[in-house]
Structure 1
Amino acid sequence: MSRTVVTPKRRRFRITPYALLLPATLVVLLALGYPIIWQVITSMQHFGLAQQFGQAPEWVWFDNYVTLFTNPTTWLVVARSVAFCLVTAAVTMVIGIAVALLMQVVPAGVRIALQIALLLAWATPVVAAMTIWNWIFDWRRGLVNWLLTSIGIPAQNHNWLQEPLTFFLVALIIVVWMSMPFVAFSIYAGLTQVSGEVLEAAQMDGANPWQRFRYIIVPLIKPVLGIVMLLQIIWDLRVFTQVKLLQDRGSIASQTDVLGTYIYQLGIGSSDFAMASAMSIFVLLLTIALSWAYVRNLLKEDEEA
């Protein structure tokens, strides 16, 4: 009796997908490659204000990195930035998921009004929005102090931006307010792909709302949650404008610096562009490290497919 040997099919190599990706890849390499190469080279030189006016830079190789990372201030800023990034991203995701679920259950009119409000908050230019937020938390005539004083909480002339803890609380509120609409819209789009029949069947089997959300909805929209969380971590780690404009209102920069403002202080403030470049390269590597878990999971899923 003869046996039939089944040989696995070889995966055919197709050049068309790679050819279609090539133009976009070249554009990205040209747009991002040159700045990164320039920063790597500059980070290994002595590049200050004199070099901006034509003086030849002196090669110091890794001395800038040694100086930067033997400075305790650098590690304090890194720890502060990572903590702020993770907390802000987590709060944004929780509120964004809650708003997305809310948009699913409210009537159509309320949902449209909510979506318009979210879109306006997301589309507002950062500087314009920060002008409003600076007025809201102004210590002399701000809305928050007036409301707290009106309900009996003594907050008149309280400077929210003077203490680091309240400064980052205000920064967290602002960053979450600006980022949450993107999260809510993305997750809501994912929720529309969840089959209502599956949820109804689970409800008939006795699953409560939390169980339906945890065991059915979350696994089905997991890819959306993953990419949105990854983007939030990258964006919140590199936050600059909101923190810088809050600092300009009178806070102590050395106590409230994050990675973006720290690089700005090194480069523009101190005219030490080599040190700023070294710090920028470190931020790039830190971003890759924080997002590597998700990238590795994508590669694993692609191999299994």
Structure 2
Amino acid sequence: MTATTLAPPLTAAAPPPAAPRARRRSAAPLVLLAPSIVMLVVFIGWPLVQMIVMSFQEYGRAQIFGQPAEFVGLDNYLAVLGDSEFWMVLARSIALCIVCVTATMVLGVLIAVLLTRLGVVMRSAVSIALLLAWAMPALTATIVWGWIFDTQYGLVNYFLSRVTGTDWTGHSWLIDPVSFFAVAAIIITWGAVPFVVFTVYAGFSQVPGEVLEAASLDGASPWKRFRFVTLPYLRSILLVLLILQIIWDLRVFAQIYALQTIGGVRADTNTIGVYIYSVSMASGDLGAGGAISVILVLIMLLVSAYYIRSMLKQEES
């Protein structure tokens, strides 16, 4: 009796891997983005290039009327950086920016939290009031606030006279630089708070209710729930808001210029935006004004560098 060995079953050969198909990139995204790209190049890119070129030229009133501009290299930058007034204006602008951004972010988050606690009627009323404040142009708002702080008929002086028993009629809030910037900070914060409120209030919808409920069942206080649960979900939103507010408040122009027109001393209350306007238009030195503008752009890029780096890291991951 002979043993028979069974041959192993034949297995079908695996088919060769299919060659990767070349991905055909559609032109539709570029077509859809083309209008926006053209608008950015025309209205932002080209003026920015002109400003940079002008900052390396001697560009004054003669060049405005057709005389060729002379290339002066870094002379405009050296003159600006060597001017003590520029550094004083820059420090003043940064200090005002810190105060306004801090007040705007704190008040914006607090009011957004308040909206979540209000009923439908009160929440609608507060939202409409915020929208009206946000929709008012900066120049119009500054004029209205200028009336409120008017020396003779202002509501603030009248209220202080009634409360303190001292006659505040004739007191100027704009003649002193400290009170001038206090009024300016109120106006700037008043106009910027609604944007922060609506953005943060919309961001609350990203916080899962189950997580908040679980934290509440674990005995976490409202402050701890807000700090350890809500804030981590809002961190990216708050970071974007912070950077936008720094950029907007650092280059503020309309409110400061209008207050100076109403009664402020321009030499003691210039911020970087008004200073660029004064150097470029009043003095007619567009080259120096372009150099200051480029320096301001570089400062803003440094401010937003952290956000840009974190955003790129998120895209890579």
TM-score, normalization: structure 2? 0.88
Question: Which residue type is aligned with residue 77 of structure 2?
Answer: Y
Q: Matched residue pairs, number?
A: 294
- Counterpart among 288, 292, 296 of residue 309 in structure 2: 296
2:299 corresponds in structure 1 to 286
2:155 aligned with 1:139: no
Structure 2 unmatched ranges of 5 or more: 1-19
Matches of 1:238 and 1:221, distance apart in 2: 26
Judged with a 3 Å threshold, the aligned counterparts in structure 2 of structure 1 residues 141 and 109 are, in CA distance, closer, same or farther, namely same
1:149-189 Cα distance to aligned partner (Å, 9 max, x none): 11016333221111111111111100010010000000000
Q: Distance in 2 between matches of 1:161 and 1:13?
A: 65
- 2:176 aligns to what? 163
The one-letter code of the counterpart of 2:204 is L
The secondary structure found in structure 2 opposite 1:94 is helix
Which of 236, 251, 271 is 1:223 aligned to? 236
Does residue 61 (structure 1) correspond to residue 73 (structure 2)? The answer is yes
Structure 1, residues 77-130: CA drift from partner, whole Å, max 9, x if none? Answer: 111111211221111010000010000011010000000000000001222212
SS in 2 for 1:157: coil
The answer to whether the aligner puts 1:117 opposite 2:129 as a matched pair is yes
Distance 1:64 1:14, change over 3 A: farther
* 1:294 positional shift: 1.3
Shift of residue 59 of structure 1? Answer: 1.5
Distance in 2 (CA, whole Å) between partners of 1:13 and 1:97 is 46
Corresponding residue for 1:7?
A: none
Q: How far, CA to CA, are the matches of 1:268 and 1:289 in structure 2?
A: 27
1:3 matched to which residue of 2? none
- Which of 56, 75, 86 is equivalent to 1:44? 56
TM, length-normalised to structure 1 = 0.92
Select 1:106's aligned residue among 118, 137, 147.
Answer: 118
166-175 vs 291-300, which deviates more? 291-300
* Structure 2 residue corresponding to 1:272, chosen from 285, 291, 294: 285
For 1:250 and 1:50, locate their aligned partners in 2 and report how far apart those are by CA, in whole Å. Answer: 33
CA distance in 1, matches of 2:212, 2:205: 12
Once residues 136 and 225 of structure 2 are traced to their aligned partners in structure 1, the CA distance between those partners, rounded to angstroms, is: 35
How far does residue 23 in structure 1 lie from its aligned partner after superposition?
Answer: 4.4
Partner residue, 1:97: 109
In the TM superposition, residue 197 of structure 1 has moved relative to its aligned partner by 2.2
Matches within 5 A, 1:205-220: 205-220=218-233
Once residues 24 and 15 of structure 1 are traced to their aligned partners in structure 2, the CA distance between those partners, rounded to angstroms, is 20
Segment drifting more, 18-27 vs 267-276 = 18-27
1:196, distance to aligned residue in structure 2 (A) = 2.1
Partner amino acid, structure 2, of 1:270 = S
Q: Which one has the largest radius of gyration?
A: 2
2:248 corresponds, among 235, 245, 248, to: 235
Partners of 1:297 and 1:167 in 2: how far apart? 38
Cα shift at 1:50:
1.3
Q: 5+ unaligned residues in a row in structure 1: which ranges?
A: 1-9
Which of 250, 257, 261 aligns to 1:244? It is 257
Deviation at residue 15 of structure 1 after TM alignment? 4.4
Aligned equivalents of 1:267, 1:223: Cα separation in 2: 37
Three-state SS of the structure 2 residue aligned to 1:192 is helix
* Cα distance change, pair 274–197 in 1 and its aligned pair in 2 (3 A): same
Counterpart residue number, 2:37 = 25
| 1:189 partnered with 2:202 | yes
- Deviation of the 1:40 alpha carbon: 1.1
| Partner Cα distance (2:139, 2:41) in 1 | 30
Aligned equivalents of 1:15, 1:289: Cα separation in 2 = 35
3-state SS of paired residue (2:252): coil
SS in structure 1 at match of 2:121: helix
2:164 counterpart SS class: coil
- With over 3 angstroms needed to count, the CA separation of the structure-2 counterparts of 1:269 and 1:192, relative to structure 1, is same
- In the TM superposition, residue 13 of structure 1 has moved relative to its aligned partner by 7.8
1:148 aligns with 2:160: yes
Residue identity in the other structure for 1:121: A
Percentage identity across paired residues of the two chains: 41
Measured after TM superposition, the shift of residue 18 of structure 1 is: 6.0
Aligned to 1:6: none
